[in-house]
Amino acid sequence: MKIVFGKLALPKKGALVLGVQENRSMLPMTMLMDTAMGGGLKNAMASSRFTGKAHQTLMVFGPTGRIVLYGVGNGDGIDSLWSEKAGGAIVAALASSGESEVSILFEGYGGTGKGTELRAAHFGYGALLRSYRFDLYRTTLKDEDKPSLSKINVLVDGHLKARKNFMELNAVAEGIFLTRDLVSEPPNVLFPESFAKRLQGLKADGLKVEVLGEREMGKLGMGALLGVGQGSSRESKMVVMEWNGGKKGDKPIAFVGKGVCFDTGGISLKQAGGMEDMKWDMGGSAVVAGLMKALAGRKAKVNAVGIVGLVENMPDGNAQRPGDVVTSMSGQTIEIINTDAEGRLVLADALWYTLKRYKPKIMIDLATLTGAMLVALGQINCGYFANDDVLADRMAEAGRAVGEGVWRMPLGDDYNKMMDSDIADMKNAGPRYGGSITAACFLERFVEKCPWSHMDIAGVTWSSKDAPTVPKGGTGWGVRMLNQMVKKHYEG
């Protein structure tokens, strides 16, 4: 989708989006068009239920194509998020309408003046985010089933400033699209080695990228991660991505991702129904990759590292068994109770490696870690854990700012000791109750005193229905929120 910014004026071609306030009160450009149409818009409103309430729409046919009358209410609460939602709604309404181009007459909507350009940029951003599709493997898709809309003109006073604001958002969108692409790819295409190869491509964005194979990880003593990949014919990998946009010598902030390219459960095999979903068990690492791309794309003034542990969890003659004891890079030993609790094993070594190599300011891991998180919070909020209140508050604030909900969950000794083992330092699976919490306590054993947060994104990585700025499928959830937090607190 092409998003273009231009001067506020009625264009001569394409579809139009025109704002209407409450009680069918038309904004100036809308009025102009209504006059040109001999009162056609007023009549259309009068014979419909459209009153101009926020986010209401009415589709009318005008001289140059469809006209979407868009309700802006009384102007209250019109901020960046409102504008993104509106942009997304416009794309949803016109994507497959037959229109190829639409112009949005952005007359401030929430009042003109300061902030208009920023809201206009967010309007374009929301439209762009909603336009995402993953059609790579749909070879028989007919033309009439493909989206027609390919260009969006956001017409606004101060369009140059709006465009400038948009460029930064566009970089974030490109990160989100990378994340969505990665989680959408099928597991026969995206496996540790091919995933690592794709991440090598991020060198073109200005990132440093390093790939460790099983030999290197073996030397480092990553017995926990390697144990998971042991039953797979694909080689496990770890990818280290660095963005050095901050001051030289400044300690980085670190993001660590679970990258289980397919999770069968291993010998503790999952049931067949829905197992195909486990292709997106690498969602955490996809967010890390997308975030790193976004930071590089907008030249963020920060030093950041992204580290992903890439494995495939398969049952096989050489697979790890329940009862096995593995030694992690930290030296701590782990009794395997359930080979389906594999994500934490991958993260144990990835976190420790990150901690020791970079001594980061903060460390945040993302993982589709537990089904219990879906039970707890559904698909609305991501549950997160933190050993540091300042970090926890920053995350909540960032989530609110971009509309990605996060909800803090508890850690604590009473949970933590549920992961003690009789034969080793810990076990990889505890009781069913509190499963997301004990998983987080397991991870906490690998971060020492570093301010750290674990985000269990099991519920928010994939969506089965469209949302205003997130089409169904891979959501890219987390890129926006973490980008926001970096921008607000860790740059400069």
Residue 429 CA to its chain's centroid (Å)? 28
Q: Is residue 312 involved in binding ligand BES (CB under 6 A)? A: no
* Bridge partner list, 363: 254, 452
Min. distance of Cβ 220 from ligand BES in angstroms? Answer: 23
Q: 214 touches which of ligand BES, Zn ion, Mn ion, none (CB within 5 to 8 A by kind)?
A: none
Contact in structure between 219 and 304 (CB atoms under 8 Å): no
Q: Which segment (108-116, 279-287, 303-311, 447-455) binds Zn ion by CB under 5 A?
A: 279-287
| Contact string 372-401 vs ligand BES (x = CB under 6 A) | x-x---------------------------
CA dist 15 and 360 (Å) reads 50
Query: From the CB of 406, what's the least distance to ligand BES, in Å?
Result: 17
Q: Please pick, from the candidates 205, 214, 263, 456, the single residue that binds Zn ion as defined by CB under 5 A.
A: 263
Tell me whether strands 57-62 and 237-244 are parallel, antiparallel or unpaired. unpaired
Mark whether 344 is an active-site residue: yes
58 backbone dihedrals φ, ψ, rounded to 5° = -140, 125
- The verdict on 284 binding ligand BES (CB under 6 A) reads no
- Residue 312 near Zn ion by CB under 5 A: no
- Residue 69 binds which entry of ligand BES, Zn ion, Mn ion, none, CB below 5-8 Å type-dependent: none
Q: Is 281 in the site for ligand BES (CB under 6 A)?
A: yes
Binding test (CB under 6 A) with ligand BES, winner from 57, 100, 148, 338: 338
Among 185, 335, 340, 349, binds Mn ion (CB under 5 A): 340
Q: Is 51 helix (H, G, I), strand (E, B) or coil?
A: coil
Give the Å distances, CA to CA, from 325 to 219, 264, 337, 350, 435.
18, 20, 9, 18, 21
Cα–Cα distance, 243 to 299 (Å, whole number)? 9
Active-site residue flag, 321: no
First-to-last alpha carbon distance for the chain, in angstroms, is 32
Q: Is 343 in the site for ligand BES (CB under 6 A)?
A: yes
> What's the min distance (Å) between Cβ of 466 and Mn ion?
28
SS3 category, 295: helix
Among 192, 257, 309, 343, binds Zn ion (CB under 5 A): 343
Q: Which residues pair with 15 in a beta bridge?
A: 102
151-155 and 253-263: which strand pairing? unpaired
CB of 242 to ligand BES, least distance (A): 27
Q: Where are the alpha helices (DSSP H) in 314-472?
A: 343-358, 371-377, 389-402, 413-416, 435-444
DSSP character for 221? T
* Interatomic CA distance for residues 335 and 426, integer angstroms: 6
Q: Using the rule CB under 6 A, give the single segment among 84-92, 97-105, 368-376, 385-393 that binds ligand BES.
A: 368-376
370 or 416: CB nearest ligand BES = 370
**Candidate list 344, 394, 480, 487, residue with the active-site label:** 344
Residue with smaller CB distance to Mn ion, 435 or 468: 435
Binder among 263, 312, 335, 404 for Mn ion (CB under 5 A): 263
The candidate with the shortest Cα–Cα distance to 120, out of 79, 149, 75, 77, is: 79
Residue 371 Cβ vs Mn ion, minimum distance, rounded to whole Å: 9
For strands 363-367 and 2-6, give the pairing: unpaired
Question: What ranges make up the beta strands (E) of 142-293?
Answer: 151-155, 208-212, 237-244, 253-263
Interface with ligand BES: number of residues (CB under 6 A): 16
HSE on the CB side for 413, CA within 13 Å? 0
Report what 429 binds from ligand BES, Zn ion, Mn ion, none; CB cut-off 5-8 Å by kind: ligand BES
Q: Known catalytic residues? A: 270, 344
Binding site for Mn ion (CB under 5 A): 263, 340, 342
* List of residues contacting ligand BES (CB under 6 A): 263, 281, 338, 340-343, 368-372, 374, 429, 435, 458
Instruction: Tell me which residues touch Zn ion (CB under 5 A).
Output: 260, 263, 281, 343
